[in-house]
């Protein structure tokens, strides 16, 4: 049914020749021949005076018309005869506005502007985060006075999701890290015949540093991203607006439960991860250095002051608060398009992890005299 598109040149003595187009000039028919036809059209179009006869064209669609239009140099040729029903296509092509694609010229001020913009963006994030923290504190104070209005159900859901459901993965990770550190330390300590100090190394490093940081990084990746994405999608689907018009505050109903849940569940997760990591280290030490589990467990409280545990714990609370606030902050900043959701979630996780490590080093400096003999 579809006749393939073709064109031929008819020479007329004493006058300019004629180009005759026949067949179906539409997308389906043009198909693979399009490049061949385009070059043929271009050769004929170079000769300005030619007569173009389109009367033999059975069907013409916008693609076919645009092909001709491009060959003619985006204007109608002088000598053109065509079927009346095809005329509208060329009229349409002639009346379009000019598309100005945004220029990609290199501007020397770009580096300066970029740096300036990122500094300003950082400040605005900081400002918004402090503001959010303040709002949460006010909300918390308000709810403490009226405990019946507190979003207990949401808090409990979030604790379950961010805490309870993270138990298996944190245990696995903690155990493996414990095994690895135990093994590596055992190798080194054996050289000095100081194998028994493996308990000090494992105890201090895990309880004071590794447990909280490891857990916080995992939770930032696991729950922080989920929180950002959830708030972002709620913004895109206008659920946040719906809550606003019902007079339900975002901070009390959505953000506070998340932040509180992280602040509660992260220390508990840290305790759990510490236990798993110490177990791993203990197994490792048992294999490598023949330190009995019983000896390991009785020795541990003697060599690791209890202050380390409290330090790890309080760090975990702070990390939980920070991850929660950062995740929600970025979630609220997502615009109504999909790429901003992707960027927002990525930035949220990266920022959370960075902030966790920065805060950890601040803790390390501030408490350098605590818990270490």
Q: By the criterion CB under 8 A, which residues form the site for other proteins?
A: 26-28, 30-32, 34-35, 38, 61-63, 66-67, 69-70, 74, 88-89, 92-93, 95-102, 335-339
Closer CB to other proteins, 70 or 314, in the complex: 70
The conformational region for residue 83 under phi > 0 = left, psi -120 to 50 = alpha, else beta, is beta
Q: How far is the CB of 98 from other proteins (least distance, A)?
A: 6
Q: How far is the CB of 338 from other proteins (least distance, A)?
A: 5
Closer CB to other proteins, 88 or 164, in the complex: 88
Place of tokens 């296509």: 89
Closer CB to other proteins, 48 or 238, in the complex: 238
Instruction: Please give the structure tokens belonging to residue 314.
Output: 């309080």
> d(Cα 253, Cα 251) in Å, to the nearest integer?
6
Closest to 274 in 3D by CA, of 371, 218, 205, 370: 205
Closer CB to other proteins, 76 or 299, in the complex: 76
Q: How far is the CB of 229 from other proteins (least distance, A)?
A: 15
Q: How far is the CB of 95 from other proteins (least distance, A)?
A: 6
- CB neighbour class for 199 (10 Å; exposed up to 12, middle 13-18, buried from 19): buried
Q: How far is the CB of 146 from other proteins (least distance, A)?
A: 39
Closer CB to other proteins, 208 or 235, in the complex: 235
> d(Cα 256, Cα 82) in Å, to the nearest integer?
70
Cα 53 to the center of its chain, rounded Å: 56
Closer CB to other proteins, 234 or 326, in the complex: 234
- Cβ neighbour number for residue 246 with a 10 Å cutoff: 8
Spell out the alpha helix ranges (H) of the chain: 27-30, 34-45, 62-71, 84-94, 110-145, 152-162, 167-192, 198-204, 211-219, 225-236, 239-245, 250, 256-289, 293-303, 306-332, 338-366
Q: How far is the CB of 70 from other proteins (least distance, A)?
A: 5
Closer CB to other proteins, 69 or 175, in the complex: 69
Q: How far is the CB of 46 from other proteins (least distance, A)?
A: 16
């Amino acid at each position: 049914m579809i006749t393939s598109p073709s064109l031929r040149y008819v020479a007329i003595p004493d006058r300019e020749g004629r180009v005759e187009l026949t067949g179906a000039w539409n997308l389906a028919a043009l198909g693979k021949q399009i490049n061949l036809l385009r070059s043929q059209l271009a050769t004929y179009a170079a000769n300005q005076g030619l007569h173009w006869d389109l009367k033999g064209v059975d069907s013409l669609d916008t693609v076919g018309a645009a092909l001709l239009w491009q060959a003619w140099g985006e204007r109608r040729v002088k000598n053109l005869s065509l079927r009346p029903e095809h005329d509208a296509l060329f009229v349409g092509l002639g009346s379009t506005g000019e598309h100005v694609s945004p220029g990609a010229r290199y501007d020397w001020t770009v580096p300066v502007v970029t740096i300036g913009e990122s500094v300003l963006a950082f400040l605005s994030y900081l400002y918004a985060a402090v503001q959010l923290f303040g709002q949460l504190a006010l909300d918390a104070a308000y709810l403490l006075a009226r405990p019946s209005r507190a979003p207990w159900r949401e808090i409990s859901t979030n604790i379950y999701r961010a805490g309870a459901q993270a138990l298996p993965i944190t245990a696995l990770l903690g155990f493996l890290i414990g095994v690895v550190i135990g093994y590596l330390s055992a190798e080194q300590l054996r050289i000095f015949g100081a194998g028994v100090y493996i308990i000090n190394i494992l105890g201090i490093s895990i309880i004071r540093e590794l447990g909280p940081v490891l857990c916080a990084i995992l939770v930032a990746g696991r729950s922080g991203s989920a929180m950002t994405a959830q708030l972002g999608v709620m913004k895109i689907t206008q659920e946040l607006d719906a809550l606003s018009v019902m007079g339900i505050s975002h901070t009390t109903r959505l953000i506070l439960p998340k932040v509180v849940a992280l602040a509660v569940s992260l220390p508990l997760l840290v305790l759990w991860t510490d236990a798993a990591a110490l177990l791993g280290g203990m197994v490792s030490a048992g294999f490598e250095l023949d330190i009995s589990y019983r000896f390991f467990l009785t020795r541990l409280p003697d060599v690791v002051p209890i202050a380390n545990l409290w330090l790890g714990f309080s760090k975990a609370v702070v990390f939980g608060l920070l991850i929660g606030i950062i995740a929600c902050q970025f979630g609220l900043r997502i615009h109504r398009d999909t790429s901003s959701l992707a960027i927002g979630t990525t930035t949220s996780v990266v920022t959370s992890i960075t902030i966790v490590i920065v805060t950890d080093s601040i803790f390390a400096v501030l408490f350098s005299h605590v818990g270490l003999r």
